């Protein structure tokens, strides 16, 4: 502090004293032998490092020596000298390795590893000593390698001049990796170390990677062939997946990351691509049949790797077609067909979702396959799906909640979606719906209407118009019955205390029923007439036809052992009332008195005398009714319940009924074909056969054979809607 | 003696059709019980009407026909077209015992 004040004082004005620096009288000189001695010192140290001896001089002193030499512009010579030293050393080291007699490749690898390790660590020490050189001379001079680089370069050159060393190293490495692939434990650190050497020396790709990939391909080619023969497909897939995992791990553990792609590809190629066709052909169906979802999932992801999903999809599709067709064509299994199909669908869905990752293309393939096979058999699947739904919607189908019912209906609808002949479904659905509605067998109106809504969304309102009309008729009938009961003048004529309920059908909506005549009991006849008059008075311009075959009654019957209430069909009622006046009647007598057609009467009598509940006895006994039989009132009839249902024959579908429904569909199709042909020809006037057929196939929504079309065209020519062109027989003209 | 069967309840089924003699409408050639080409539903929604000349058509068909003609004539017999009142439509059933409901069918005027 005091000093500072003095200086301020000294700087006062006037007497300023100048400070001058004079040059040295003689320039300071380096000692003559500076370069030689300093290099000697350094050389000594380098030798010590190479010889793994302790360095006698402190590292700092050495560093300064380097710095001094550089400052005195001796850097280039210093660099050259150092390079010379390293060269000699590396050359000697590799010479040693080359001449080593070690045959065991692993041992040799260890030598090689040590040699490399020494080289790198020594080069690092040398670099620390010569750091100043590395930082100044090397950086400012072009074409000179950094010290470490220089070391690598020298190592590379000498290694190249001893190819047997490199070859042995590579062989050793490959042998180790192969051993590891065969399940042995190997020194991964050594592997990693040596492979890093290859990378550092920039000879990884050519020196190691190429032979390595070749060996890999060989190894897995052999393994692929062997395993394909020895194991089943599932195990093979598992093994392949394991192998791929191992190779990935290998890349992480010691291989250069650039190898991964090529390596994985080689494995995929040898283990998967080459064998995938065989795998799919040999094992796919079994995997599907046994529902081995995890294995299928594995197959999927492996196929995805090698871009073989298309082939897998194909197998998937073929499998569905194959199993589907056998299921569909087996007539003995018709009863269970829908359930079997649903089960199959559910299994396939599981596979699709859990194994095939919801792949949309696979879902489409499944749809294709279903559409293909389900339409291989004409009409029957559609009919059975309709019946399946009927069974679900029928009363007495207890034990399932509304939600469960909904799920089952939805599933059935999925199958329905695959059907191309939807008109068959419609016909059978309509027939069954009619029975459910008219015989009061429908479980719930809500479920019924729900189902109609589903069909509407599926096929449009055109499809459900008539079905909805049927519900409308039922509702209208209720209204009519209400006003019928309220009409006093009418009721005055009805005194028997019979509760009459009529469902009035609009003919166009409902299936057509054959009229089966019967001589009704007088009271019923009277009721019928009164109602008819009432109805026609409300609705003029109409005709009313009674469908006796659909009528049902509840009657009381007095048996010696007690009074029972029977739920029976109208025909059964007609037969039973005959026994009010007689204990025993022959078939002929019953036929005469009831006026029921023979076949229908046989069915009726069979249900009364041969079924579970036998209110009549038949002479002679037997399961079938013959026109010579005699029937007796069953006096000994007993039943635990008061109410007994014996009208199930109405619900059952007869062979004739089935045939009629099918025929109706065929008939309708013919009308549709005719209409379509006329419509097309009316706009086109003239069209060749080929074009007409192709337009028809687009327009018509059900499966048709070209031969059927030909028949319809011929029929239209006969009816003079069309004519063949005189010049060309294959061309049709429209006749207005 | 016998069952002594008594009928307590009867659920009968009847179907109605248009009482129009011919099966098909002379205009659209579709059955009377079906729909005309533009109709969606058969039955009540596709009513059948009679002219005083006695010929019957779907209501939709004859209205369309008449609106396209300058002279209102029956397409069959060329006699002037006039709708027959509903109550007198050619239904020859048993005499009705209760009060008739005159407007069972709504006809355009």
CATH at B80: 3.30.40.10
Instruction: Return the residue matching tokens 């190293």.
Output: A169
Asked if B105 lies within 8 A of A490 by C-beta distance, the reply is no
Q: Is there a domain that residue B101 lies in?
A: no
Asked if A552 lies within 8 A of B17 by C-beta distance, the reply is no
CA distance A543 to A429: 27
CB A604 within 8 A of CB A568: no
| pLDDT score, position B44 | 79
User: Phi and psi of A108, rounded to 5°?
Assistant: -60, -40
| pLDDT score, position A3 | 47
Cis peptide upstream of residue A620 (ω within 30 degrees of 0)? yes
Q: Is there a domain that residue A621 lies in?
A: yes
Which helix (H) or strand (E) segment holds residue B13: the answer is: strand B6-18
Residue A558 belongs to domain with CATH number: 3.30.230.130
| Out of A521, A534, A554, closest to residue B9 by CB | A554
Expressed in percent and rounded to 5, the helix, strand and coil fractions of chain B are 15, 25, 65
Q: How far is A673 from chain B (nearest CA, A)?
A: 16
| Closest chain A residue to B32, measured at CA | A508
By CB neighbour count within 10 A (0-12 exposed, 13-18 middle, 19+ buried), where does A404 fall? exposed
Asked if B41 lies within 8 A of A440 by C-beta distance, the reply is no
Q: Is there a domain that residue B97 lies in?
A: no
| Out of A466, A538, A541, closest to residue B19 by CB | A541
Do both A39 and A152 map to the same domain?
A: yes
CA distance A214 to A572: 88
Asked if A537 lies within 8 A of B98 by C-beta distance, the reply is yes
pLDDT at A370 over 90: yes
Pick B82 or B103 by higher pLDDT.
Answer: B82
Q: Is there a domain that residue B95 lies in?
A: no
Chain B residue numbers with beta carbons less than 8 Å from the beta carbon of A469 are 41-43
pLDDT at B86 over 60: no
Best residue in B1, B7, B55 to probe A by mutation, most A CBs within 10 Å?
B7
Domain count along chain B: 1
Do both A577 and A666 map to the same domain?
A: no
Q: Is there a domain that residue A73 lies in?
A: yes
| Closest chain B residue to A511, measured at CA | B15
| pLDDT score, position B109 | 40
CA distance A326 to A348: 16
| Out of B15, B41, B89, closest to residue A465 by CB | B41
CB A218 within 8 A of CB A140: no
| Out of B17, B50, B99, closest to residue A507 by CB | B17
Instruction: Return the residue matching tokens 């019967």.
Output: A518
Do both A647 and A690 map to the same domain?
A: no
| Residue at a domain's end among A653, A679, A705 | A653
Instruction: Return the residue matching tokens 């009674």.
Output: A546
CB A479 within 8 A of CB A538: no
The pLDDT tens digits for A155-199 are: 999 988 888 888 888 989 999 999 999 988 888 899 998 999 999
Angstrom distances, CA of residue A617 to CA of A555, A575, A640: 19, 13, 19
| pLDDT score, position A13 | 57
| Residue at a domain's end among A653, A687, A703 | A653
Chain B residue numbers with beta carbons less than 8 Å from the beta carbon of A506 are 15-16, 33, 42-44
Return the C-alpha torsion angle A350, A353, A354, A356, nearest 10.
110
Domain with B32 in it: 17-88
| Closest chain A residue to B1, measured at CA | A583
Least confident of A6-20, A36-50, A659-673, A706-720: A6-20
Do both A648 and A689 map to the same domain?
A: no
Separation of CA A109 from chain center: 52
Residue A685 belongs to domain with CATH number: 1.10.10.10
CB atoms within 10 A of CB A733: 15
| pLDDT score, position A239 | 93
The pLDDT tens digits for A556-577 are: 988 888 888 999 999 999 999 9
Do both A637 and A701 map to the same domain?
A: no
Among residues A327, A377, A334, A332, which one has the least CA distance to residue A348?
A327
CB A383 within 8 A of CB A419: no
Asked if B4 lies within 8 A of A500 by C-beta distance, the reply is no
| Residue at a domain's end among A653, A677, A699 | A653
Q: Is this prediction's ipTM beyond 0.85?
A: no
Asked if A553 lies within 8 A of B3 by C-beta distance, the reply is no
| Closest chain A residue to B36, measured at CA | A508
Do both A687 and A635 map to the same domain?
A: no
The pLDDT tens digits for A494-551 are: 877 788 999 999 888 888 888 888 899 888 999 999 999 999 988 888 888 899 888 9
Strand intervals (E) in A69-176: none
| Closest chain B residue to A484, measured at CA | B98
Q: What is the 8-class DSSP label of residue A51?
A: T
Do both A555 and A612 map to the same domain?
A: yes
Q: What is the 8-class DSSP label of residue A257?
A: G
Chain A residue numbers with beta carbons less than 8 Å from the beta carbon of B96 are 533-534, 536-537
pLDDT at B99 over 60: no
CB atoms within 10 A of CB A694: 11
Number of A:B CB contacts under 8 A? 199
Do both A643 and A670 map to the same domain?
A: no
Domain count along chain A: 3
Asked if B11 lies within 8 A of A551 by C-beta distance, the reply is yes
Top-ranked range on mean pLDDT: pick from A90-94, A440-444, A647-651: A90-94
Q: Is there a domain that residue B53 lies in?
A: yes
Q: Is there a domain that residue B75 lies in?
A: yes
Q: How far is B72 from chain A (nearest CA, A)?
A: 23
The pLDDT tens digits for A241-254 are: 999 999 999 998 88
Q: How far is B26 from chain A (nearest CA, A)?
A: 17
Least confident of A134-143, A269-278, A308-317, B34-43: B34-43
When pLDDT is cut at 50, 70 and 90, the band that residue A11 belongs to is low
Least confident of A470-484, A590-604, A652-666, A721-735: A652-666
When pLDDT is cut at 50, 70 and 90, the band that residue B106 belongs to is very low
Asked if A553 lies within 8 A of B7 by C-beta distance, the reply is yes
Least confident of A14-23, A214-223, A620-629, A695-704: A14-23
Tokens of A635: 């006096």
pLDDT at A70 over 80: yes
Q: State the average pLDDT for chain A.
A: 88
Q: Percent of chain A beyond pLDDT 90? A: 32
Chain B residue numbers with beta carbons less than 8 Å from the beta carbon of A538 are 101, 104
| Closest chain B residue to A535, measured at CA | B96
Q: Is there a domain that residue B104 lies in?
A: no
When pLDDT is averaged across residues A671-699 and rounded to a whole number, the result is 89
Do both A571 and A587 map to the same domain?
A: yes
Do both A639 and A720 map to the same domain?
A: no
Best residue in A509, A531, A534, A542 to probe B by mutation, most B CBs within 10 Å?
A542
Q: Is there a domain that residue B45 lies in?
A: yes
Residue A156 belongs to domain with CATH number: 1.20.1310.10
Best residue in A540, A636, A668 to probe B by mutation, most B CBs within 10 Å?
A540
Q: How far is B104 from chain A (nearest CA, A)?
A: 5
Do both A591 and A688 map to the same domain?
A: no
CB atoms within 10 A of CB A191: 21
Q: How far is B50 from chain A (nearest CA, A)?
A: 9
Do both A153 and A41 map to the same domain?
A: yes
Asked if B16 lies within 8 A of A438 by C-beta distance, the reply is no
Q: Is there a domain that residue A629 lies in?
A: yes
CA distance A360 to A368: 12
Q: Is there a domain that residue A150 lies in?
A: yes
The pLDDT tens digits for A454-491 are: 999 988 888 888 889 899 999 999 999 999 989 888 88
Domain with A146 in it: 34-161
pLDDT at B98 over 80: no
Asked if A545 lies within 8 A of B17 by C-beta distance, the reply is yes
């Amino acid at each position: 502090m005091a000093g500072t004040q003095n200086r301020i004082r000294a700087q006062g004005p006037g007497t300023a004293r100048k400070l001058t620096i004079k040059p040295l009288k003689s320039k300071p000189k380096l000692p003559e032998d500076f370069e030689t001695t300093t290099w000697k010192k350094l050389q000594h140290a380098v030798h010590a490092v190479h010889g793994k001896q302790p360095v006698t001089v402190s590292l700092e002193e050495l560093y300064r020596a380097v710095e001094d030499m550089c400052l005195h512009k001796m850097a280039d010579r210093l660099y050259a000298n150092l390079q010379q030293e390293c060269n000699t050393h590396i050359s000697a080291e590799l010479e040693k390795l080359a001449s080593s007699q070690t045959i065991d490749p692993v041992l040799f690898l260890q030598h090689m590893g040590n040699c490399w390790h020494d080289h790198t660590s020594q080069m690092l020490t040398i670099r620390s000593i010569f750091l100043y050189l590395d930082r100044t001379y090397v950086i400012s001079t072009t074409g000179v390698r950094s010290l470490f680089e220089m070391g690598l370069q020298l190592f590379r050159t000498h290694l190249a001049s001893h190819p047997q060393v490199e070859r042995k190293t590579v062989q050793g490495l490959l042998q180790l990796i192969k051993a590891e692939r065969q399940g042995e434990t190997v020194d991964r650190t050594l592997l990693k170390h040596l492979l890093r050497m290859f990378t550092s020396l920039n000879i990884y790709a050519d020196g190691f990677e190429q032979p390595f990939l070749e060996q890999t391909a060989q190894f897995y080619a052999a393994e692929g062939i062997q395993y394909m023969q020895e194991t089943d497909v599932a195990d093979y897939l598992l093994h392949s997946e394991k192998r791929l995992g191992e190779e990935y791990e290998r890349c992480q553990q010691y291989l250069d990351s650039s190898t991964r792609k090529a390596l994985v590809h080689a494995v995929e190629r040898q283990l998967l691509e080459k064998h995938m066709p065989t795998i799919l052909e040999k094992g796919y169906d079994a995997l599907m049949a046994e529902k081995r979802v995890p294995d299928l999932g594995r197959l999927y992801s492996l196929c995805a790797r090698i871009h073989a999903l298309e082939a897998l999809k194909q197998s998937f599709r073929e499998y569905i077609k194959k199993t589907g067709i056998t299921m569909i064509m087996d007539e003995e299994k018709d009863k269970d067909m829908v359930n079997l199909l649903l089960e199959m669908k559910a299994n396939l869905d599981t596979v699709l979702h859990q194994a095939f990752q919801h792949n949309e293309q696979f879902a489409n393939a499944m749809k294709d396959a279903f559409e293909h096979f389900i339409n291989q058999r004409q009409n029957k699947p559609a009919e059975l799906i309709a019946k399946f739904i009927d069974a679900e919607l029928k009363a007495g189908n207890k034990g399932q909640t509304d939600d469960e019912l909904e799920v089952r209906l939805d599933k059935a609808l999925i199958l329905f979606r695959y059907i191309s002949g939807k008109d068959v479904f419609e016909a059978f659905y309509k027939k069954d719906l009619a029975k459910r509605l008219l015989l009061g067998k429908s479980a719930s109106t809500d479920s019924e209407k729900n189902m109609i809504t589903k069909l509407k969304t599926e096929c449009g309102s055109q499809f459900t118009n008539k079905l909805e009309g049927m519900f409308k008729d039922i509702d209208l009938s209720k209204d009519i019955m209400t006003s019928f009961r309220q009409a006093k003048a009418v009721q005055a004529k009805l005194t028997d205390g019979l509760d009459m309920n009529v469902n009035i059908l609009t003919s166009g909506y409902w299936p057509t029923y054959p009229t089966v005549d019967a001589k009704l009991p007088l009271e019923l006849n009277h009721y019928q007439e009164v109602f008819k008059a009432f109805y026609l008075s409300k609705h003029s311009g109409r005709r009313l036809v009674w469908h006796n075959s659909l009528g049902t009654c509840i009657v009381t019957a007095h048996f010696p052992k007690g009074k029972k209430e029977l739920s029976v069909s109208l025909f059964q009622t007609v037969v039973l009332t005959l026994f009010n006046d007689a204990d025993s009647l022959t078939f002929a007598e019953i036929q005469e008195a009831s006026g029921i057609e023979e076949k229908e009467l046989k069915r009726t009598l069979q249900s009364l005398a041969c079924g579970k509940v036998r209110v009549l006895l038949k002479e002679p006994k037997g399961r079938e009714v013959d026109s010579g039989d005699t029937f007796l009132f069953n006096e000994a009839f007993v039943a635990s319940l008061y109410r007994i249902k014996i009208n199930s024959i109405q619900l059952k579908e007869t062979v004739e009924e089935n045939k009629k429904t099918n025929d109706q569909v065929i008939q309708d199709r013919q009308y549709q074909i005719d209409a379509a042909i006329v419509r097309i020809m009316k706009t086109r006037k003239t069209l060749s056969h080929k074009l007409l057929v192709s337009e028809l196939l687009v327009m018509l929504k059900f499966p048709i054979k070209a031969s059927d079309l030909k028949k319809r065209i011929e029929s239209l020519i006969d009816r003079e809607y069309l004519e063949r062109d005189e010049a060309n027989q294959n061309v049709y003209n429209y006749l207005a | 003696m016998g069952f002594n069967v008594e009928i307590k309840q009867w659920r009968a089924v009847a179907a109605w059709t248009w009482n129009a003699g011919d099966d098909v409408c002379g205009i659209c050639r579709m059955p009377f019980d079906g729909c005309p080409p533009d109709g969606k539903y058969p039955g009540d929604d596709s009513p059948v009407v009679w002219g005083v000349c006695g010929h019957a058509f779907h209501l939709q068909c004859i209205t369309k026909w008449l609106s396209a003609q300058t002279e209102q004539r029956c397409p069959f017999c060329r006699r002037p077209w006039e709708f027959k009142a509903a109550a007198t439509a050619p239904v020859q059933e048993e005499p009705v015992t209760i009060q008739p409901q005159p407007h069972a069918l709504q006809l355009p005027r």
